[in-house]
Each structure stands twice: as structure tokens, then as C-alpha cells.
Amino acid sequence: MEKWPPFEAKIGFSSSMAVGAWFNLVCLMAFGMMMMSSWGECRNGGMCMHDEAATHYIDMIDQTTLGHRFIKAEFNVTPRIGWQIDPFGHSAVQAYLLGAEVGFDSFFFGRIDYQDRAKRKIDKSLEVVWRGSKSLGSSSQIFAGAFPENYEPPSNFYFEVNANEDSPIIQDNTNLFDYNVAERVNEFVAAAIAQANITRTNHVMWTMGTDFRYQYAHTWFRQMDKFIHYVNQDGRVNALYSTPSIYTDAKYALNQAWPIKNEDYFPYADRLNAYWTGYFTSRPSLKGYVRVTSGYYLAARQLEFFSGRSKSGPNTDSLADALAIAQHHDAVSGTSKQHVADDYAKRLAIGYTECTLLNISYCPPSEIDLSKGKNLVIVVYNPLGWRRTDVVKIPIVDKNVVVRDFRGKEVESQVIPLVDVSVSIRNYHATAYLGKYPKVTPKYWLAFSATVPPLGFTTYVISSAKRAAGVSEKQTANESQRGQNQTIEVGPGNLKLVYSGKDGKLTKYINIKSLVEESVEQSFGYYSGHDGSTDLQASGAYIFRPNVSYPIKSEGQLPLTVFRGPLLDEVHQRINSWIYQVTRVYKEKEHAEFEFTIGPIPIDDGIGKEIITKITSTLQNNKQFFTDSNGRDFIERIRDYRKDWKLEVNQPVAGNYYPINHGIYLKDKSNELSVLVDRAVGGSSIVDGQLELMLHRKNAGTALFWTLTISIRRLLHDDGRGVAEALNETVCIGDKCQGLTIVGKYYLRIDPIGEGAKWRRSFGQEVYSPFLLAFTEQDGQYSHVPTFYGMNPSYLLPDNVAILTLQELQGGEVLLRLAHLYEVGEDKDLSVKASVELKKVFYNKKIKRIAEMSLSANQERAEMEKKRLVWKVEGSSEEPKVVRGGPVDPTKLVVELAPMEIRTFTINFYFR
């Protein structure tokens, strides 16, 4: 064999303990190169290796902060390497926000599309400088590397005991007939050189180990010890134990220029017909629970700050832990076994106890009998930094009620009948999860308009009245109307939705204020899930492999029922025996709210189903649409196209699906159509003018889509990626089980071109952080604190700024995190620098000390910037000048935020 010049083969073996806070004792074995052995999973220093598709950026920040601050407190260490080797595709937010902005110098990962990987091997571009944010550009870029073959060792270098692996050990006893030192050294060198040929510089890295290995670590380390010894004697390569930090420093020292990578690595396929896009939707109930808990946790920390953190009593810590571990790439992703998913939900429930079943009309505090002189007191808390008016809805027993504010002034309200679908779900799930059948059944929804100050609460009192609140007027499309081809218009405000009286379908969206008038249709359908009979690749928890698509047609005699009232109109549609939809149009809102109830998905035909909903318009979007990255940036998508390589299209539906945590939109020269979601889903634009969302999946084959596709899944086959179970969720009472029923929402709005960002950003915050309600009964006159202001009563945060974190830490220190909500160029008015006056935010406290920190609050920002490695990039690196907020003057205490900037502070106050 030709003797190669020696190149540093740094083979990093360091076994990673399966502890959430350990970050770079990691799974690498590299040549010239570093070899590291893997036992368990290596992480970023957070509480888990979080998912990157179904996670919201606030949750990603919180779980990373929890781990980083623990490591700092216990070991005085600040992690500097990102290690996301197992998530199923990688997001731009992970690179710039959870990479560069937490102080990492590099970021390593395992899973990228097999077509992308093949091209990058040829181009030697598996390792890049990743600029994930077009707003922050090079100021938040990071060195990033994908492994040549996922996170496995090279072929024939596995040394697990009792694992049916036949990699030959090094036999170095010359007295035995199977002596093989030269042979194994040659294999080692050949594998190193093969990787060197697809890698820039003379350093390569091997991951020594994989899932479920290192039962007996000495079997691995004994062989790696021998390889290092004999390979280094040979001299063609140099092998050594290493870490990702050592490998990063070795790469940086060579002053190499690297290719630029923008945007993200979605969607991910590991081979033909195997797109990992099903998990964007899998286990929608868990995804919804995580999202609800996340918004609750944000508000709970604020309230804990205002009331003072209890040193001995209850606090938010258990909720923080449960929510952090739920971000794992096999948790919120929906790719765990059923009993594991149940455990995640149980831990969340321990921390989250406030009316957990309110969304299915089960809330005992609101179902009291008010006819005997009792009052129901509702405290409405607003966790946003803006004054906010919204409609509050609670289930009630008697329609003869009146709502008053804390001054005693009557508030306009509306009573809406509670339909049988909601009652049956409420009773069944209450029995299943609480173990008892509800004694009282509410008959109505009570809706009223609440106005609440920023970071404050307002109190409302509900009492019995001789006259009823505004009762919704009921209108039903009947047989005679069908024959007349009549249209039905709903909407008490600027927004009007028009339905066909003949078939009950949505036909038109009209906004009389913005002068938008657009033909729109909304429908349900499903994809039958592939059973894997042709090539052993079924649709499952991870994989979305649709077989045939089917429309779901209305089976009801009456196509729709309308309830009209002073605050909102509701359109009720029984699509079939297992799909029910309510569409709401509010007087003071200019979007439509769609609430779907889907399930149990039938599988008697032996077919798994991926349920979708489609929204079809006349917009000419020319294959282009936009999806969010972890609820933060929006990324352009083009159907059947990848910017980094020429895509060979083999799955035209699954291969065009993307994760959606916040929203999806498309546009043409005149208008833009936006949809926001209440949980992580998968979505796409499979046909121009359409958005499609997947709502529910059941491993028998159904999926609901729009052309904004939301889908639900119920499937009958495992996809062979590790769960070893079909995605067939059920709810049981005793030994009787039925398929899961999902209740969820999405929101639709159409704006003139260039105007949609305001709604996506502002209302998106309201979706993530809804009003927090607290209830109590009261006999006679209400006597408690009627209203509360957390900030100066005359101060509001700018429209483009949100408070992500307001939390009292142990020792009295306060963690504050502020975020600019807009990208550069996203909105003509709000994509500008903003300022926050901390003296008015903390108007009743005096700041003693303020320090700007890294995003994960484990080091001061100035120190982090001082240590940051500056990587060279190929070609012209010219870009618009990146704008950042300036230092905070300790006297003026004003925080500046540039577009997409998040700034984190620790604050100490003077005690009063």
C-alpha cells in the first residue's frame, strides 16, 4: 500500500455518561482525526438532546439554560460544543440561536438527507460555516459538521460484547494462528484515508459507538488502545483519543476557509422513500400538551417573580424539569413507545394542574350553580407585554348569567350551546383520565370580552341574572336552501366568510377593511399509510410514506349550522362520524379560527391513515411557500427543490413536508395567505394556491391536509426506525379502548401583500401565551384585589418586542430575556431597532446591578464574545452590516434590540 504522509489522526475516545448535563465526553473517534467512544447519548449541556423540528425556540432555550446553569454551578464549566447527533434533521434556529448565541464554537450532528450527504462528500462540504439567520448573519455563524455516515464507526469497527457484531479484534499474540495486526492496521488506515478524501484539512473524526452499546466498555477501549498503539507505530496516520473541543481547535488552527451554509437541513430522508416527516405530526395530543404547558410555564415564572419565589414551598422547578425533558428528540417528536409517551405526559401533569381539561369543556370551578346567590370570580392574567383584549370562553350550566368587571360594570357576553360532540369527549376523557364520570354536565359556553394590562390581571365576576346573556341565534342550512344555490355569510365584524348553502363548503374570504376578497375552500382528506409490502418501508412514527390520497366528503344531512351573536359567529360542520369542525369569526378579530375534532380514526379496513386539512385559494405562489423555524425565523421553501443540491424527487408529498411550530404562509403579487397553529404539525403546499396541514395519524393510513396541510395520524405498521410499535394511540376505560380523539385549532388570515407579518408575529404571541385563568367561588360581594399591574400602568412594550423570560432564580437574582420578533425586511414599520425602558418594566423596584449574559445565562456576554472563534469562509463574504443593540447604560437602563435579536440579563434589585 502506498505510504501516505502522516496526518494527525485524532481519535477521540471519551465515554459519555448518560446524564443530561454532560456535553462533550463524546462519541467520536477521529483520525488526523479524533476518535471518541460513545456510550449513551452526548448532548449540548442541556437537560436533553432536544428535537429540532417539533420544538419551540423558547422551550429549546429554557431546557438548555437549565442544563448550562447546572453545569456551571456544579462544575464551573461552560460548554462550548454543540452535539446534536441524533435529531432527525436540523434547524437554522439550532445553529445560530442554540449554537452561536449560547457561546458554542462548533456544532456536530449526524442526520442529513442521503442525497445531500452524497453531494457534500464529493464537494468536501460536510463541514461548513453555518449562517442560520439572515438577520444576524456572520455575527451568529458557527462551524458545523455532519458525520460521513450518521454517527456510526466505520464499517468493521464495532466491539460490543454479545451484540452479534463480527468485527475482528486485534489479535497481537504472535503465537496464535489468527494474528492480524498488519491486516487490521491496514483496514484502519484505509478507512481513515477514505474519510480524509471527503474532508478538508488533515484532521478527521470517528464516532466510536452507537445506540445501545457499551454494556462492557472495556471491550471497546481495549481495542481502541491497541489500534492507537499499532497505527501510530505504523506511522501513516496518527490516532489519539480526543473530544469535540480538541477537534474544533485543531480545525481552527489551520486557518482553513469553509463553505457557507444557510437555512436548515429539512426535510431528512435516510434512503429512498424514507422521509422522516411523519414525526412532525406524530402524537398530536402530546405535542399539544407540551405547547400548552410551555405557555403556562412562561406565565407561571412571571407570577412567581411578582409574588416572590418560595424557598421551601411549591415553585416552578418540577414543571421546568418535566418540560425540559419533554423536548427530547424522542419525546415531543412523538417517536417514543406509548408507555414512555405516557410518562412524559404524567410528569408534565404533575407540574401543570390548572384546569387541565378546560379544552374539552371540563372545568369544575366554572360549572357551579349560580342560582343560589354564589358568584364565580375569574382572574384573567396577561403574560404579554402589551395591553390585550380577547374573548374568554368557559363552560357553564345555566345560560341566565351576567358578567361584570371589577368596577361592577356589565360586560358584553354571549352564550353558545355546548354541542353533543364536546359533551361526549368531555365525559369520556374525564372518566378515562380522572377515573370518575362528571356529576354535572354544562350546557353552554359563556364568552365575554376581557381587557387586561401587560404583565397584569383583571378580575371578572359572573353571577346569576333573571335575563339571559346574549344567546347565539341558531341558523341551519336546510334542504330548500340547497336547491336555491343560496350563500350563507358569517362574521359580525370586518371579516366575512361565505359558505355555499348547497353543500356547506367555504367559498370566499372577505375583509371589508383591508379590501381583500379571495376565493377560498377548506376540506379534509387522508393519505393511506404505506404498509411496507413493496420494499419493507412502511409509514410509521418517524416516516411519512403516503400511498394514495382520498378526499373526505360530508356524510351529514345538514351541511352546516350557524350560531350568531354579538361577539362571534360559529359555523358547525359534521364532516362524518369522526370529524367535527367549528369555525369562529370574531367581531374584533380579522382572522378565522378553525377548531377540529378528529377521531377515533377508523381502521376496520386495515388501512392506516394520515388525516389532513387543505386550504385552497386562487393565489399564484409558483411553488413557493414559507414555514417557520422553531417558531422564530421564516424560511422560503420551493416545491421539489433544494438550494444545496439537485433533488431527485421520489416522494412528491412526503419530500415536500416541513415542520411547523408557528405558521406557514404563501403569497403572490397581491395577497398573502397565512395559517398559524396551536402545536407542532407538518405542512406543505403540494399544489399552487394550496396549504396543507397534517392533523392526525393512525397507523392504518389516514391523514388530514389542507393545502396548508395539517395532519393527524393513525397507523398500523412500524417503520423500522426504533419505536418497534405502530403509531396507534388509544384511550381506555377499564379494558375497553378506542382510538385517540384530537381537538385542536389553527387560524387563517389573508392580507394584502407585505401586511401579513404583523398578524403572524403579534397574534402568534397570543397563540403561544394565552390568557391564564384562575377561578374561585364567592358568596356575596367580591372583596379581593381587583386588578394588578406588573409594569408601570402607563407603559407598554414596543409592538415588536416580547418578554421571553421573567424568572426569579435562587438567591433572589432575576433572569430577564427580551426578544425582537421581526426579521430584517419583514415589515416596513416593525423591522427596526426597538428600545425597552427597564425602569418602567420594573417600576416598583430599583435595579442594583444588571449584567448581559449569553443566551443560556451561564457566562457574561462580553466574555463569550471575547472567546468566540472567528471562522474564515470561502469566496466573497460581503453581507449587509449586521445591526445589534448597544450596551445598556447602568443609569438610563434602556435595552436596544435589533431585528431577531434576543438579549438575556441577570438583574439584582435593592431590597425595600
Tell me the C-alpha distance between 69 and 321, whole Å. 13
Q: Which three cell numbers stand for residue 304?
A: 412567581
pLDDT number for residue 710: 52
Summarize pLDDT for 854-900 with one digit per residue, the tens.
999 999 999 999 999 999 999 876 777 898 999 999 999 999 999 99
pLDDT number for residue 363: 65
DSSP 716: S
On the question of pLDDT at 180 being above 50, the answer is: yes
Summarize pLDDT for 265-299 with one digit per residue, the tens.
999 999 999 999 999 999 999 999 999 999 999 99
Summarize pLDDT for 2-21 with one digit per residue, the tens.
333 333 333 433 333 222 22
Higher pLDDT, 312 or 324: 324
Do residues 382 and 457 touch, judged by C-beta distance below 8 A?
A: yes
Q: Which three cell numbers stand for residue 136?
A: 444576524
On the question of pLDDT at 495 being above 80, the answer is: yes
The pair phi, psi for residue 107, each rounded to 5°, is: -150, 120
Give me the helix-helix angle, 338-351 and 317-325, nearest 10°. 160
DSSP 486: -
pLDDT number for residue 312: 73
Three-class SS state of 194 = helix
On the question of pLDDT at 706 being above 80, the answer is: no
pLDDT number for residue 878: 74
Do residues 34 and 28 touch, judged by C-beta distance below 8 A?
A: yes
Average pLDDT over residues 839-850: 96
Banded pLDDT at 487 (limits 50, 70, 90): very high
Do residues 186 and 168 touch, judged by C-beta distance below 8 A?
A: no
Tell me the C-alpha distance between 334 and 341, whole Å. 8
Q: For 51-113, give the DSSP string.
A: -SSS--HHHHHHHHHHHHHHHHHHH-----EEEE-SSSS--HHHHHTTTGGGT-SEEEE----
The pair phi, psi for residue 447, each rounded to 5°, is: -115, 135
Banded pLDDT at 314 (limits 50, 70, 90): confident
**Other beta carbons within 10 Å of 514:** 16
pLDDT number for residue 711: 60
The pair phi, psi for residue 250, each rounded to 5°, is: -65, -40
Helices assigned H by DSSP within 235-337: 244-253, 284-307, 317-325
Percent with pLDDT over 70 in the chain: 90
Please provide the average confidence, as pLDDT, over all residues in the chain: 89
DSSP lists the bridge partners of residue 807 as 815
Summarize pLDDT for 795-829 with one digit per residue, the tens.
999 999 999 999 999 888 999 999 999 999 999 99
Summarize pLDDT for 396-452 with one digit per residue, the tens.
988 999 999 999 999 999 999 999 888 888 888 888 887 888 888 889 999 999 999
Note if the bond before 600 is cis, omega within 30 degrees: yes
Banded pLDDT at 701 (limits 50, 70, 90): very low
The pair phi, psi for residue 28, each rounded to 5°, is: -130, 140
Average pLDDT over residues 516-528: 95
Among 844, 848, 846, CA closest to 792: 844
On the question of pLDDT at 697 being above 50, the answer is: yes
pLDDT number for residue 911: 78
Summarize pLDDT for 709-729 with one digit per residue, the tens.
456 788 999 999 999 999 999
Summarize pLDDT for 453-473 with one digit per residue, the tens.
999 999 999 999 877 667 888
On the question of pLDDT at 698 being above 70, the answer is: no
**Other beta carbons within 10 Å of 643:** 10
Summarize pLDDT for 345-364 with one digit per residue, the tens.
999 988 776 464 444 445 66
Average pLDDT over residues 113-135: 97
Q: Which amino acid is at 414?
A: Q
Higher pLDDT, 270 or 554: 270
Q: Which three cell numbers stand for residue 412?
A: 358584553
Q: What is the largest CA-CA distance in the chain?
A: 102
Do residues 486 and 537 touch, judged by C-beta distance below 8 A?
A: no
Banded pLDDT at 38 (limits 50, 70, 90): very low
Summarize pLDDT for 46-94 with one digit per residue, the tens.
999 999 999 999 999 999 999 999 999 999 999 999 999 999 999 999 9
pLDDT number for residue 388: 97
pLDDT number for residue 472: 83
On the question of pLDDT at 702 being above 70, the answer is: no
pLDDT number for residue 150: 87
pLDDT number for residue 556: 63
Angle at 170 between CA 248 and CA 221, to 5 degrees: 45
pLDDT number for residue 28: 33
Which residues 6+ apart lie within 8 Å of 857 measured at CB? Answer: 65, 68, 69, 815, 904, 906
* Cα-Cα end-to-end distance for the chain: 78
Summarize pLDDT for 583-628 with one digit per residue, the tens.
999 999 999 999 999 999 999 999 999 999 999 999 999 999 999 9
The pair phi, psi for residue 286, each rounded to 5°, is: -65, -40
On the question of pLDDT at 485 being above 70, the answer is: no
On the question of pLDDT at 691 being above 60, the answer is: yes
